[in-house]
Structure 1
Amino acid sequence: MSPNLSPSTPQRSCTLPLLKRTPSRTTLSISHSVKKRRRVSIATFDIEAELGVTTAPQTAVEETDADRFLAARFTTSLPLNTTPRTNRIAKAFGLMDDRVLNYGEATTPPVQTKVRSLLRRCASELLSVPRAASTISAKSNLAVRKQFVMALDGPGISRDLFASPMAWSHSNCICVAFKSNVYFQNLDTRAIVHLCRVSLMEGLVHSVDWDNKTNPHILALGTTNATVQAWDSLTQKQVADWSNDKSPVGGMHWNENVLAVGRKDGRVSLFDIRTPHQIQEVEGHKRQVHGVKWSPDGRFLATGDHTGSIHVWDMRARDHLTINDRRVLMKHDGPVKSISWAPWQDGLLATGGLFPDGKIQLWSIHKATTSLTINTSTNITSLHWSPHCKEILSTHGSSWGPWHVVRHAEPLPKQAPRTAFTNSMTVHAYPSCDKIVSVNAHSAVIGHSCIGPDGCSVFTVSPIEETIKMFKVWSAPAEKGKDDGGLGYQCTIR
């Protein structure tokens, strides 16, 4: 029988009370992310429309060059790599589209003014200082004053284009050969001395050359009848006579006590001032040797003959430098008389050819290839490197045109044209070979020239004009230790 339940009696529940579970970290993160998504996913609205404010459009930047190290694109439509190969590749991949291969037209009009670019250009123009010519260069000396410094009379000088009738000693004496007589003048005292006179049997004086710093008062002379003598300018007496050979003399040059003499039969004879006989003989040429020049260190001897062949002989190895088992190291298309070694670079040799060559070629004996060529279409009678700067001087005679150059033609045409190099003294820059200055030193052919002991002045001689002139071509560098006006202090990097 069920008991009676009154309303005032509380009713007991039969179910167990619910436990409040603490959510795990995973649940929290999920619920938190859901709420966060709900919070951030609020519908966006237009602030300008709600507030009723209109903002001014952003103005275009005047400077279009974002980076001064990167070039800006062109505003005009230019093809981008539209080469036939590019078109084939683009067609194979289905990329034949103007959007890919071409620049598009600028959507905005190009800016008319570029403030930063203008400022940069103006600043660069203000800060850029034009490079002044070096005071050593011929551009600051011969180009400024093209007139000669001194002029001497020279009647009776040999008109042979292959002769070397003049030389300048380290003791500042200029020597000139007049037919059978040899004179020299001391440029410090201006005293003129008649050194010697050769007999008619010995022929005419063809070449003269002073010894170097070892014996600056010793002069060697060679005649057209194979006479080779050495004279002392202080005592005016003959100190050596090497006239046992029958071959006429060509060019000659001293190397301390050793004298190299070119011969008409192609030999080069070596004499020592301390011995009365020939000490050695160098063979290799087939025709007369016109040019003979020792290198500044005395190791190499360069010679040029009538066929244009250039040989270089190694003094230490006692043999020629060879190329592919050949002794001919270099070649011109005409006779070679002018040879000069660069005093500031080892193995750099300059040679000049006569008609029909007319070229100055700059060689490196270590590479055995022609590095640079200057075409003048004019006889090159002498070459001189500047010891103070990288410039080379050349003296010239008659010129010719392309129609005058005939193979195996020896004499020059009777009516030779005049060019910028005709009868001139020209200075070239190295290695650009640009013409720095050209002076018409004489009204006739310049037969020979010699450089002074200071390396700044040059004497030129014109046998037809019978005049000897001295020009100041370069300047010597300033001595070390002099005040440079504070330049060294200003250029100090701290």
Structure 2
Amino acid sequence: MKKAFGSPQTPSISTLSRRPKITRPLRKQLATPTQNGDRFIANRSSVDFDWARYLVNKSNIIGKKPSKEEYDREPAASLVMDSSKMLRTLSFSRKPSGQGLQSIYSEAPSVDTTVRTSRSQSRNIPQHAVRTLDAPDLVDDNHLNLQDWSDSNILSIALGNAVYLCDANTSTTSELLTVDNDVGPVSSVNWAPDGKHIAIGLTSSAVQIWDSTCNRQLRSLKGHHGRVGSLSWNDTILATGGRDSSIIIHDVSIRNSNVKTYRGHEQEVCGLKWSLSGQQLASGGSDNLLHIWDKSMSSSNVRNQYLHRIDEHFDAVRALAWCPFQHNLLASGRGLADQSIKLWNSLTGACLNTIDTNSSVCALLWNRHERELLSSHGYSENQLTLWKYPSMAKTAELTGHTSRVLHLAQSPDGYTVASAGADETLRFWQVFGNPDTSESTKTKEPEGILNSYLMHIR
């Protein structure tokens, strides 16, 4: 009779008799660890416990059947996770050399610890601004971008027809330019990566490039047929968004700077941000649309060459921020009709999370030192809100502005945030922690602002 596949077979007595006996000394030898160790002990230093807790809480609802949208969204969410969270427990980059486990561990990739997790010591977040300044004639328009902080530690702010520079290194303030009424007011400002040159967008549809070291205009860029309310630098590439619904890509290193035109919006382009890699451009418009453009796939002057067109908003999309520690993660915020922050996977265009803020979202900033997102708001509290990523739990609320907080800018060391509100005040917050004790890395308070340009009021 044939035995079934996989059925147990009873060994014969002769077979059993031929088995070697395990002596007591051999048992003692087996119980003794080898010199290099015979155990694998889990190393949890690279585990993001906030992310793990968030996933566990999502799956704790027993009996809930995931919807089709959740099935579509979850694989996309995994694409924007840190590479450190995707490391396998045992993975080899090459064939083992046979030199022992110690050599393999020494060649394993190190975990990026530049962004601290929740295990780091909790910090004290000041609830009040460390400095409040008067900013007269700040235009109350949520479609403009009137403040930026350069890598050389100079804060620029546009007040009416003028642009002022507040040098935090020397504690001085100076006027960069004042335009005539027929071309003003100034509608946008943005620093180049070198911290020396600054782009100025005007209501007259022109864009001026200035050298801040000598207060001299270098050139004027044309192409728009309405005010230029949004600007974004990417090395020598400058993206400009106008009321004519177009996005013009300028290469300022060549004479004929207009190299591309993106057309996908139907109304004014009020938000522009290049990704940290410089390969993708996010644009938001008054038409409630969010576009993601890929630099490699867009040809010159071809319409609708966007990578993703997102129409899930109910108000103008101006607040945009690329995550510094997950480079394909984009945060966007909308106005009073929407009142939400959305997180996007820029590779797939999938919405990863939606946070209801119960107020209009005016601006967004990521913390460079912690996994946190800062948002500024309008009606009814006019507050700044700090969110913990990825759980998006509310960490702190900072109040002081009496009208909507239109603009946020971050100091080059990443610790100080400047907020400009429709109440015509400029406030400085230590919301992202304290700078190093080294005097060379500290951001000095802009005492030089206490003059006729910006009056110190508190």
TM range, smaller chain? 0.5 to 0.7
Structure 1 residues 101-120: aligned runs within 5 Å: none
Aligned 8 A contact 1:394 1:427 in 2: yes
Q: Who is 2:408 aligned against?
A: 449
Structure 1 residues 219-238: aligned runs within 5 Å: 219-238=198-217
Aligned 8 A contact 2:241 2:268 in 1: yes
2:260 counterpart (268, 280, 285): 280
Structure 1 residues 166-245: aligned runs within 5 Å: 166-212=147-193, 215-245=194-224
Q: Secondary structure at the match of 2:272?
A: strand
2:249 matches 1:267? no
Query: Which structure ranks higher in relative contact order (CA pairs < 8 Å, sequence separation ≥ 6)?
Result: 2
- Deviation string for 1:369-398 (max 9, x for gaps)? 111111113111100111222110000011
Once residues 246 and 328 of structure 2 are traced to their aligned partners in structure 1, the CA distance between those partners, rounded to angstroms, is: 23
| Offset at residue 326 of structure 1 (A) | 8.2
| Offset at residue 329 of structure 1 (A) | 3.5
Mark the runs of 5 or more structure 2 residues left unpaired by the alignment: 1-116, 438-458
Q: Who is 1:328 aligned against?
A: 309
Q: Who is 1:472 aligned against?
A: 430
| Offset at residue 184 of structure 1 (A) | 0.5
Once residues 127 and 227 of structure 2 are traced to their aligned partners in structure 1, the CA distance between those partners, rounded to angstroms, is: 38
Kindly tell me: are residues 330 and 246 of structure 1, through their superposed partners in 2, closer, same or farther at Cα, counting changes over 3 Å? closer
Q: Who is 1:134 aligned against?
A: 120
Once residues 251 and 165 of structure 2 are traced to their aligned partners in structure 1, the CA distance between those partners, rounded to angstroms, is: 23
- Deviation string for 1:249-293 (max 9, x for gaps)? 121111111111111122101112223432211111111111100
| Offset at residue 196 of structure 1 (A) | 0.7
2:419 maps to amino acid: T
2:364 counterpart (372, 380, 383): 383
1:432 counterpart (380, 385, 391): 391
| Offset at residue 243 of structure 1 (A) | 3.2
2:237 counterpart (246, 258, 264): 258
1:223 maps to amino acid: L
Q: Who is 1:297 aligned against?
A: 277
- Deviation string for 1:193-251 (max 9, x for gaps)? 11011122212101101111xx2111111112202101111010001201343222121
Q: Secondary structure at the match of 1:269?
A: strand
Mark the runs of 5 or more structure 1 residues left unpaired by the alignment: 1-130, 399-417, 480-494
1:263 maps to amino acid: G
Aligned 8 A contact 2:225 2:243 in 1: no
Once residues 370 and 330 of structure 1 are traced to their aligned partners in structure 2, the CA distance between those partners, rounded to angstroms, is: 11
- Deviation string for 1:118-160 (max 9, x for gaps)? xxxxxxxxxxxxx98734xxx6142xx2121222220011111
Q: Secondary structure at the match of 1:447?
A: strand
1:260 maps to amino acid: A
- Deviation string for 1:63-108 (max 9, x for gaps)? xxxxxxxxxxxxxxxxxxxxxxxxxxxxxxxxxxxxxxxxxxxxxx
Once residues 180 and 435 of structure 2 are traced to their aligned partners in structure 1, the CA distance between those partners, rounded to angstroms, is: 45
C-alpha RMSD over aligned residues? 2.4
Aligned 8 A contact 1:141 1:472 in 2: no
Aligned 8 A contact 1:133 1:140 in 2: no
Once residues 228 and 199 of structure 2 are traced to their aligned partners in structure 1, the CA distance between those partners, rounded to angstroms, is: 12
Q: TM-score, normalised by structure 2?
A: 0.66
Aligned 8 A contact 1:388 1:477 in 2: no
2:433 maps to amino acid: S
Structure 1 residues 398-417: aligned runs within 5 Å: 398=379
- Deviation string for 1:315-366 (max 9, x for gaps)? 122269xx9x984135311110000000111210000011201110001122
Q: Secondary structure at the match of 2:409?
A: strand
Once residues 311 and 400 of structure 2 are traced to their aligned partners in structure 1, the CA distance between those partners, rounded to angstroms, is: 30
The structure with the larger Rg is 1
Once residues 186 and 392 of structure 2 are traced to their aligned partners in structure 1, the CA distance between those partners, rounded to angstroms, is: 35
Once residues 235 and 392 of structure 2 are traced to their aligned partners in structure 1, the CA distance between those partners, rounded to angstroms, is: 32
Once residues 250 and 299 of structure 2 are traced to their aligned partners in structure 1, the CA distance between those partners, rounded to angstroms, is: 17
Q: Who is 1:165 aligned against?
A: 146
Kindly tell me: are residues 454 and 461 of structure 1, through their superposed partners in 2, closer, same or farther at Cα, counting changes over 3 Å? same
1:279 maps to amino acid: V
2:440 matches 1:460? no
Kindly tell me: are residues 477 and 364 of structure 1, through their superposed partners in 2, closer, same or farther at Cα, counting changes over 3 Å? farther
Once residues 338 and 166 of structure 1 are traced to their aligned partners in structure 2, the CA distance between those partners, rounded to angstroms, is: 13
Identity of aligned residues (%): 30
2:221 maps to amino acid: W
Once residues 310 and 463 of structure 1 are traced to their aligned partners in structure 2, the CA distance between those partners, rounded to angstroms, is: 25
Once residues 158 and 261 of structure 1 are traced to their aligned partners in structure 2, the CA distance between those partners, rounded to angstroms, is: 19
Q: Secondary structure at the match of 1:394?
A: strand
Once residues 245 and 285 of structure 1 are traced to their aligned partners in structure 2, the CA distance between those partners, rounded to angstroms, is: 14
Once residues 226 and 266 of structure 1 are traced to their aligned partners in structure 2, the CA distance between those partners, rounded to angstroms, is: 12
| Offset at residue 475 of structure 1 (A) | 3.1
Q: Which moved more, 1:335-344 or 1:270-279?
A: 270-279
| Offset at residue 172 of structure 1 (A) | 0.5
Once residues 223 and 373 of structure 2 are traced to their aligned partners in structure 1, the CA distance between those partners, rounded to angstroms, is: 38
Once residues 226 and 389 of structure 1 are traced to their aligned partners in structure 2, the CA distance between those partners, rounded to angstroms, is: 39
Once residues 470 and 430 of structure 1 are traced to their aligned partners in structure 2, the CA distance between those partners, rounded to angstroms, is: 23
Once residues 351 and 424 of structure 1 are traced to their aligned partners in structure 2, the CA distance between those partners, rounded to angstroms, is: 17
2:387 maps to amino acid: H
